[in-house]
Chains A and B, each alone.
Chain A
Amino acid sequence: MTKYGRNAHAIAALVREAEVHRDVYVDPEIFELEMEHLFPNSWVYVGHASQLSKPGDFITANIGRQPVLASRHSDGSIHVFYNRCPHKGVKIASEPCGSTGKFFRCPYHAWSFKTDGSLLAIPLKKGYEGTGFGDTQASEGLSKVRNVVIYRDFIFARLNDDGVSFEDYFGESLSTIDNMVDRSPEGKLAVEATPIRYMHTCNWKMLVENQTDTCHPMVAHESSAGTAVRVWKREQGDSTEVPMAVQLYGPFMSPYEFYEQSGIRIWPNGHGHTGVANSIHSNYQDIPGYLHQMVAAYGETRAHEILGEIRHNTVYFPNIMVKGAVQILRNFVPIAVDKTLVESWVYRLVGAPDKLYERALMYNRFINAPTSIVGHDDLEMYERAQEGLKSNGNHWVNLRRLYESHEEQDVTAVINGTSERQMRNQFYAWAKFMTMDMDKRVEAAE
């Protein structure tokens, strides 16, 4: 028996004032409904155009439960398809990325497709003559994802044909992506490194929430960042130069006041970012030559404007986080209600000094790797939460920090940096995109 399927009312009731019901993290049915409704209704990150530099290049990804395939066509355009052969359903591409040459060829019966998805050839084609094949969906080739937007080389797709437009969905929040791209003197990013992959035995939303949770670093990361700061103080001797590693670890131990004053900005549809006035990335040492390059490219005023925008974590609802100042995107890929694959991508700032790329790669392995001590701190907490939520002592998760009654939804606002409002903002969006097409589907079924 299903409790939540086709029951928008029951789903909406899981999010109330400043609490959410534990079922959003632990109920397998809710997870399946997220795959069926939330992800197809949202604009989801597929990949970066620099991964498709030449015609025939492709990448594979998942949007919710749906395997997709993105390719670069001979005319330079990028297309996103469902990754299945229209014949018997075999996955066309099985690797994370590669080059297919002029066409895709299904490994089962050799149906082949142009890199824009259209059907190129079927062996023994005359066997289909007079069968009405031309009237079938299969004759059109690979099924296309119709709603695809490439924003400054970031490829986003929405599976459902109807829904909120890309512009309305992201709005002003795209300013974080803008800032990250503008940090390249050539205004261009490139993916050169494979992502760090880290398997988490917890619900994907715990990770997303943690990106704007500023009351945990000084507590949970005392073991990693705190120890790093302590060991450095003891071992530094006469050294006046703080190693890059200590520059990266140290700010995690900033006091509550630092995070309070840093601020959080929320946007409609569940997006938001920490680090408005100041951020943990603000005090890294300058990289020699970089500012000069930026001034040469953008002029004095604009260069300082770009580099002065040092945001901490930007959550793009539902499941990515972007760190403009260190060129990292984390993709929280839901696998099961209690299993999440985290892919942490580093972008190279095209034309910028190697040292900047070195720092970004270092940050990624220090913080986002399965071998990261900071990562160990976090995952331990998520796993304990996933276990603890089974407790019948209390069915509700509390998100009331700095809550104000009659909080407006779907607005832009800058608030105290230790507020849990961005989490409330996400859950408001969660309920909205979960139920958006549900009533309609119920009607259609009746």
Chain B
Amino acid sequence: MISEKTITDFIYREAELLDTMQWQAWLDLFHPEGRYWIPLEWQQQDPVLQPSLMYEDLLLLKVRVERLAGERTFSQKPKSRCHHLLQAPQIVACDTTAGIFKARTSYIYTETRGDMLERYSGWASHDLVEVGDALKIKLKRVDLVNFDAPFGNIQLFM
């Protein structure tokens, strides 16, 4: 039975997997049709016909993960690391009958590489579905507070 606590634990676990660079375990959290989305416009509705910073399916996320470990991935020499500082997730929907589970989490994300440290603030919206006994990510959407700023490289996952 999916409870609000199950959803909250899931979101903390997801951030922990990213922070500890357990990429494969992170990919396993996604539903086969799952998407990871970072919009480029305020309150964006359409990931396809409006511009986004990222809108990736599982194949593309696998490419990213595999690339991070590549021998000739020069932008990862030295490697990046990341840190998520999460506020308590707000449960937006937890409807076990309809199978709709949604949460919104405000957080600060830090990505570092070499001597550089970059900080981003935003909100993650998780749309989750129940598969067997577990939750899977149907959509992880990251709305940055400064989505329109000119960023340098963002190499890991927010």
Question: Chain A residues in contact with chain B, CB under 8 A?
Answer: 193-201, 220, 222-224, 226-228, 230-232, 235, 243, 245, 341-342, 346, 354, 357-358, 361, 364-365, 369-371, 373, 375-377, 379-381, 384
Contact = CB atoms under 8 A, between A and B. Distances in A.
A305 to B, nearest CB: 29
A346 to B, nearest CB: 7
B82 to A, nearest CB: 13
Contacts of A371: 38, 53-54, 154
Interface string B64-76: 1011001011110
Contacts of A227: 63, 66-67, 70
A198 B151 contact: yes
A195 B147 CA distance: 11
B78 to A, nearest CB: 11
Contacts of A364: 51
Given A227-B63, A354-B49, A369-B53, A380 B152 contact: no
Given A231-B62, A380-B75, A358 B155 contact: no
Contact of B154 (A232, A341, A370, A384): A370
Nearest to A220: B74
Contacts of B72: 222-223, 226
A228 B41 contact: no
B50 interface: yes
A191 to B, nearest CB: 11
B59 A235 contact: yes
A305 B37 CA distance: 38
9 contacts: A223-B67, A224-B63, A235-B59, A354-B49, A361-B48, A365-B53, A370-B150, A373-B67, A379-B153
Contacts of A197: 148-151
B40 A194 contact: yes
Contacts of B153: 370, 375-376, 379-380
Contacts of B48: 358, 361
Nearest to A228: B63
Given A193-B51, A361-B51, A223 B150 contact: no
Contact of B74 (A201, A223, A354): A223
Nearest to B69: A227
Contact of A194 (B38, B74, B148): B148
Contacts of A365: 51-55
The interface size bin for chain B is 20 to 34
Interface of B: 38, 40-41, 48-55, 57, 59-60, 62-64, 66-67, 70, 72-75, 148-155
Contacts of B55: 365
B59 A376 contact: no
Contacts of B74: 220, 223, 377, 380-381, 384
A368 to B, nearest CB: 10
A361 B49 contact: yes
Contacts of A381: 74
A246 B94 CA distance: 36
B67 A194 contact: no
A240 to B, nearest CB: 15
Nearest to B67: A227
Contacts of B54: 365, 369, 371
A221 to B, nearest CB: 10
Contact of B75 (A196, A341, A376): A376
Identify the 3 closest CB pairs spanning chains A and B, nearest first.
A197-B150, A370-B151, A380-B75
Contacts of A358: 48-49
Contacts of A376: 75, 153, 155
Contacts of A357: 49
Contacts of B70: 222-223, 227
A377 B63 CA distance: 14
A443 to B, nearest CB: 40
A153 to B, nearest CB: 20
Contacts of A346: 51
A232 B63 CA distance: 8
A424 to B, nearest CB: 27
Among A231, A364, A371, residue most surrounded by chain B Cβ atoms (within 10 Å): A371
B66 A231 contact: yes
A374 to B, nearest CB: 10
A243 B151 CA distance: 28
Contacts of A380: 74-75, 153
Contacts of A226: 72
Given A193-B51, A197-B151, A235-B59, 7 more contacts: A193-B50, A199-B152, A222-B70, A223-B74, A228-B63, A364-B51, A377-B74
